[in-house]
Amino acid sequence: MKSFADAAPPFGFFSAAAAQRAPAAPSVAVPLGPAGDDGALCSAALGGDAHAWSALVDRYNHRVVVALLARGIRIDRAKDIAQEAWMRLVEQQRLGKLDRLQLPGLAITQATFLALEAQRRDAGARKHDPIDEPKIASALADPHGDAESRMMTEERVARAVEVLSRCSPSARKVFRLAYGGEGLSHAEVARRVGLSLQRVRQILCEVRAKLRAELEEGEDET
């Protein structure tokens, strides 16, 4: 795969340090408010603002890498793929092909697509084979493959939801903000609930410990 060093980054936003940086503390030129700044950043990025892209990469790259790790991709490879995914998004924006920017979902989808494409190449497919779009689309939509394992997962998720409902309201709120639809960074969650970053991570670790048993139970069988 083409490395980031080989390809001239369109905005030079992706340094090696940025690739390793934790997602918590973006250092950006675009000012970040506690709420609603994501939309402003995405709008600025869609307008070609390099600082906005840099801030978005800082904020979401780690989640893209984690999504790839969850698919069993090695860390070094996952980081390369994540970089390329961001580069593709910037390229699409420069070509005027990007009219909306929903992150981190779009970056994760792009990275997953690249990973599947690479997997396909590695599997020895012929060079000029057309990309099997339906297969890739179904893999993107359903990483669990068959219905039985999907049902098992659904069962476990339902049990985990039950466990979550027994956690304290503040723990549930922190969990919901970090993992729910808003998908805030831990720093943003801390700002939102008025706790320290450490305390937010501590709460998340506690909730994780409670949910882990439910989600991992029977994983070997599926």
Give the range of 30-38, 90-98, 120-128, 180-188 binding another protein by CB under 8 A.
180-188
Q: Which of 44, 101, 114, 186 contacts another protein by CB under 8 A?
A: 186
User: Is position 81 an interface residue for another protein (rule: CB under 8 A)?
Assistant: no
User: Is position 66 an interface residue for another protein (rule: CB under 8 A)?
Assistant: yes
Name the minimum Å distance from CB 132 to another protein: 24
Comparing CA positions, the residue from 138, 162, 129, 152 lying closest to residue 220 is 152
Q: Taking the alpha carbons of 42, 43, 45, 46 in that order, is the dihedral positive or negative?
A: positive
Task: Decide: 203 and 178 in contact? Cβ < 8 Å.
Answer: no
Q: Which of 90, 160, 189, 203 contacts another protein by CB under 8 A?
A: 160
| 202 Cβ neighbours under 8 A, 6+ residues apart | none
Say which amino acid occupies 177.
L
Task: Decide: 86 and 107 in contact? Cβ < 8 Å.
Answer: yes
Q: Which of 9, 10, 48, 183 contacts another protein by CB under 8 A?
A: 183
Q: Classify residue 6 by its DSSP letter.
A: T
Dist CA 33 CA 58 (whole Å): 15
Q: Which of 74, 94, 121, 135 contacts another protein by CB under 8 A?
A: 74
Which residue's CB is nearer to another protein, number 91 or number 155?
Answer: 155
User: Is position 180 an interface residue for another protein (rule: CB under 8 A)?
Assistant: yes
CA distance between the termini of the chain: 32
**Interface ranges with another protein (CB under 8 A):** 17, 20-24, 62, 66-67, 69-70, 72, 74-76, 79, 153, 156-158, 160-161, 164-165, 172, 175-176, 178-181, 183, 185-186, 201, 204-205, 208, 211-212, 215-216
